[in-house]
Amino acid sequence: MKYGETSLVVTILTELFGVQSYLVNGVRTATKKGSGKANLFQPTAILDMVVYHNETKNLQRIKEFKWGHLYQHIFSDVPKNAVALFMVELLTKCLKQPEPNTNLFNFCEDAFIHLDESSGAVMANFPLFFALQLTNFFGFRPQPPNPPDKSGQALKGALKESDNLIFDLQEGIFVTEKPHHPHFLEGKQAEIANELLKVMQPSELEDLKLNHDFRRQLLFSFETYYALHIQDFGTMKTVPVLREVLG
């Protein structure tokens, strides 16, 4: 957000302190000192920073900052930028407290870099992949079917391949019978959600051949999933844009 005549207030996910807000002075001036520096605080930018950190304050200050990674496409490619902004908004809605989480930071950094380098089906499927994988860090990752016991054997009563797969969005589990509420996926949507949970590397998304309408419907369902599990989640502004851009 713009602050005063020349400054910015920025919200940044940091490796050491979690999500933090910073006051950055003088980066919007037309002088040589401030020229171009505001560009470093575009959404999705990856920075190396030296900061002053005071746990008693809500607004921190940055001593030094520079590019930590230079994207090749995210800032200039419209579809990739739309996907990246969706990822940022989803993170923003999930991060409620400034708690450090190095694993989350590393996952997000890696995800943005992979998105920048992606193309074709990988990029088109990336919002679905990111949305499901992000649930790992907030305690509501969907429980996949056929959970093995400690010996590697399927548990008694676990889903079999012949069973009709249903993803209960409210409970966050795969079941064989329709729940008594409207929040569930079945058929191909449930199958693809299950496949996305198995993806270990973004390059594997190339193998998921989905059409635009199917992706849009599944993305809407994943938004519902988050709304069911994150308090005051609300409605995402980037989802309608993403549907149009990727359509």
- What single-letter amino acid sits at 165? L
Q: How far apart are CA 22 and CA 53, in angstroms?
A: 10
DSSP state of 87: H
Pull the structure tokens for residue 86.
Answer: 């969706």
User: Into how many domains does the chain fold?
Assistant: 2
DSSP state of 213: H
Of 48, 70, 92, the last residue of a domain is 70
Of 37, 70, 103, the last residue of a domain is 70
User: What pLDDT is attached to residue 219?
Assistant: 94
* 159 and 55 both lie in a single domain: no
* 99 and 32 both lie in a single domain: no
Of 26, 42, 70, the last residue of a domain is 70
* 3-state class (DSSP) for residue 206: helix
User: What pLDDT is attached to residue 157?
Assistant: 43
* 85 and 128 both lie in a single domain: yes
* 232 and 127 both lie in a single domain: yes
Query: In Å, how far are 71, 237, 241 from 68, measured between CA atoms?
Result: 10, 28, 28
What sign has the CA pseudo-torsion 222, 224, 228, 233? Answer: positive
Q: Do 106 and 133 form a contact (C-beta atoms < 8 A)?
A: no
* 125 and 170 both lie in a single domain: yes
Reported pTM = 0.89
pLDDT in tens, the chain (247 residues): 999 889 999 999 999 999 999 999 989 876 555 556 899 999 999 999 999 999 999 999 999 999 999 999 999 999 999 999 999 999 999 998 889 999 999 999 999 999 999 988 999 999 999 999 999 999 999 987 765 555 544 444 445 554 689 999 999 999 999 999 999 999 999 999 999 999 999 999 999 999 999 999 999 999 999 999 999 999 999 999 988 887 6
* Beta-strand runs (E) in 27-178: 46-52, 59-69, 166-168, 173-175
* 58 and 84 both lie in a single domain: no
Q: How far apart are CA 227 and CA 233, in angstroms?
A: 5
User: What pLDDT is attached to residue 242?
Assistant: 87
Instruction: Give the range of the structural domain holding residue 55, as residue numbers without chain letter.
Output: 1-70
